[in-house]
């Protein structure tokens, strides 16, 4: 259980949550989730002294664990309700997946890199998190379990894939960083009805690219 690991630097997590409040994060469910999860579990031991710095950190295969503020900002934009069904595109380290799960929602997550998939799956099982993780092309979503109340894309996309929009419930929300390979704008989409959507743009961020049929091709990032 996650409680077995809470001894890992609780004071640093408390300070991080205070800093996130000062930066405009107000969703108590999100802040409480960040308070509960030791970030050390997701990074190399050589980076432990940076675990609670508000910055992205490298993990395997040229991927990153996102800056805590970014994780909190994106999750807050989803306006999650208890029991929501949420699809995450890009499991990565599994940190964002666990933050979502602790917001009292049902989490489905897709990862394309087998080694990261296996590592996150093992971590979920070890900590007794009931998260549905699949190996595959996240840019295509996970249509077999649609529709979703919310979709979170945790890598940069050139545009929001229509395949993902179709997997949202009416009034469902999608948050994704949209832009080029260097800089993206955090974008929130709400599916108003079968044909109509509402889009709002928020702060600028930098993400690794979403690789896939509806994302970037591997050669694009070279």
Which residues are known catalytic residues?
Answer: 66
User: What are the start-end ranges of the H helices in the chain?
Assistant: 10-22, 28-36, 68-77, 95-101, 114-126, 162-166
Strands 197-205, 184-191: pairing kind: antiparallel
| 181 Cβ contact list (under 8 Å, min separation 6) | 156, 209, 216, 220, 221
| b/e map 97-115, b = 16+ CB within 10 Å | bbbbbbbebbbbbbbbbee
- Residue linked to tokens 């940076």: 50
Instruction: Give the whole-angstrom CA distance, residue 30 versus residue 32.
Output: 5
């Amino acid at each position: 259980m996650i409680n077995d690991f809470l001894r890992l630097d609780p004071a640093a997590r408390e300070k991080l949550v205070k800093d996130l409040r000062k930066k405009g994060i107000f969703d108590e469910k999100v802040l409480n989730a960040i308070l509960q999860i030791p970030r050390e579990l997701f990074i190399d031991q050589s980076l432990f002294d940076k675990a609670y710095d508000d910055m992205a950190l490298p993990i395997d295969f040229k991927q990153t664990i996102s800056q805590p503020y970014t994780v909190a900002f994106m999750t807050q934009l989803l306006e999650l309700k208890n029991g929501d069904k949420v699809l995450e595109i890009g499991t990565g380290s599994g940190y964002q997946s666990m933050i979502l799960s602790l917001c009292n929602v049902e989490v489905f997550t897709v990862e394309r890199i087998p080694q990261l998939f296996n590592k996150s799956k093992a971590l979920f099982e070890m900590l007794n998190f009931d998260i549905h993780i699949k190996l595959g092309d996240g840019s295509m979503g996970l249509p077999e379990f649609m529709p979703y109340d919310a979709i979170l894309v945790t890598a940069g996309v050139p545009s929001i894939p229509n395949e993902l929009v179709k997997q949202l419930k009416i009034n469902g929300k999608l948050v994704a960083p949209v832009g080029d390979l260097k800089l993206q704008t955090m974008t929130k989409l709400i599916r108003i009805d079968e044909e109509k959507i509402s889009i709002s743009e928020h702060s600028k961020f930098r993400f690794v690219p979403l690789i896939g049929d509806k994302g970037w091709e591997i050669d694009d990032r070279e």
